[in-house]
Amino acid sequence: MSMPSTGIRFQGTCFWVRHRHREYGPFDYEWSRDFAGVEFLYQRQKFGEYCSPLEIDADLREFRLPMRVVEVGSIVCGSLIYGIINGLSFAEKRDVVTKELANRGLERFADNIHGWQ
């Protein structure tokens, strides 16, 4: 069976966004030095940070990614951090990711999630 043209693949704490048959990633995160916040990484380079629900910052411009990838990557990063900080299970994190993607009309990415049981 051929790979779908869109989707998300998870592996450990990283994930890749598949868009038009091409994978972009890895997106990942790292705890800030004081373990109070989280830094967002793209290909191991910091592109944003989370300090609190009111202080989230992300800028992927320098990577010149397609807009869809930026949207999906940001939504998934935000959902994952929400899940980690609130101690959500895999199933609950997946629900958050699916719901947030669907809210923005990006269900087709949520339909093809790989690497999560």
Partner 1 sequence: MTSLPKISVCCGLLLLSAALSTSPAIADEPSQRYFEALRERRLWSLAELVCLDELKNLPPTAPRRMEVVLELTETLAKHARDVPLPAERQQLWEQAADVLDTELRQTEVLSHRLALAVQRASLRCDERAVLTLLAEINPYDERQQQHIAELTSKNIIELNRLDDTLAAARFPAPPANAKDWFDVSARQLQRSVQLKLAEELFARAMSQPTTSPDRADDLLKAEQVVRKVSSGPRDALAAQRATLLLTRMHRLRGDSQRAKGLLDSIDVALLPAELRDEVLSEQAELLIAQDKLADAADLLRKAHQVDKAFRHSSLNLITTLTKLSQAARQRRDAALADELLAEAERSARPADGGANYWSQRAQQAVAQAREDLQFGAETAALIREGRGRYAAGDREQAAAAFAQAYRQHFEKGASDDSFEIGLTHARVRVELKQFEATLKSLDELLASHASQAARPQADLLRVICLGRLYQAMPGQAAREKFTAALEAHVRDFPDSPTRADAQKMLDQLKAQLKPAPVPQPK
Is residue 34 involved in binding partner 1 (CB under 8 A)?
Answer: yes
Is residue 58 involved in binding partner 1 (CB under 8 A)?
Answer: no
Residues in Cβ contact with 25 at an 8 Å cutoff, skipping those fewer than 6 apart: 9, 14, 15, 16, 17, 42, 43, 73
User: Shortest gap between Cβ of 39 and partner 1 (angstroms)?
Assistant: 10
Give one word for 3, left, alpha or beta, with left for phi > 0 and alpha for psi -120 to 50: beta
Residues in Cβ contact with 103 at an 8 Å cutoff, skipping those fewer than 6 apart: none
Is residue 90 involved in binding partner 1 (CB under 8 A)?
Answer: yes
* Interface residue with partner 1, options 4, 21, 31, 59 (CB under 8 A): 31
Is residue 86 involved in binding partner 1 (CB under 8 A)?
Answer: yes
Classify the C-alpha dihedral 104-107-108-109 as positive or negative.
Answer: positive
Return the range that interacts with partner 1 (CB under 8 A); candidates 28-36, 58-66, 69-77, 104-112: 28-36
User: Shortest gap between Cβ of 111 and partner 1 (angstroms)?
Assistant: 20
Is residue 5 involved in binding partner 1 (CB under 8 A)?
Answer: no
What is the secondary structure of 23-38 as a DSSP string? EEEEEEEEE-TTSSSE
Q: By the criterion CB under 8 A, which residues form the site for partner 1?
A: 12-13, 29-31, 33-36, 84-90, 92, 116-117
